[in-house]
Amino acid sequence: MITLLLLLAACLLTCMGQVSQKFAVESWRDLPQGWALKLRSPWLWSALVCLGLGLLVWLLVLQRLEVGIAYPMLSLNFVLVTLVARFVFHEPIDGRHWLGVALVIGGVVLLGRHV
């Protein structure tokens, strides 16, 4: 049970890091050229913290699961990021993409039966 919670935490932290990256670059659009102001972005720092914590949790997952099982389950990030892209950023998602999401979910369910 703890392994599944750690895996879910790694996925959520990684997803939050990727979403924070998107918010960071969106906030940079109106900034002048150069990195000084961009490095002050709270979204950039949120991304770094989330991705760093996600990495540490991922290492805990790898201690408990075989990489051949754990890594494909990390593909849940594709599902989470797609949902955020659609419902937070209002990006269009076509039918093929949704089919891919369904296949990823199916694969994770099949792999989850071995955990």
* pLDDT tens, position by position, 3-13: 889 999 999 99
Q: Per the structure block, which two tokens stand in for 31?
A: 């900034």
Confidence check: pLDDT of 93 > 80: yes
| H-helix segments, 1-115 | 2-27, 42-64, 67-73, 76-87, 95-112
pLDDT band at 91 (very low <50, low <70, confident <90, very high): very high
Write down the pLDDT at residue 29. 80
Measure CA of the first residue to CA of the last residue in the chain; give whole Å.
Answer: 9
Q: What are phi and psi of 4, to 5 degrees?
A: -65, -40
pLDDT band at 49 (very low <50, low <70, confident <90, very high): very high
- CA distances in angstroms from 111 to 4, 19, 37, 91, listed in the order given: 12, 26, 44, 30
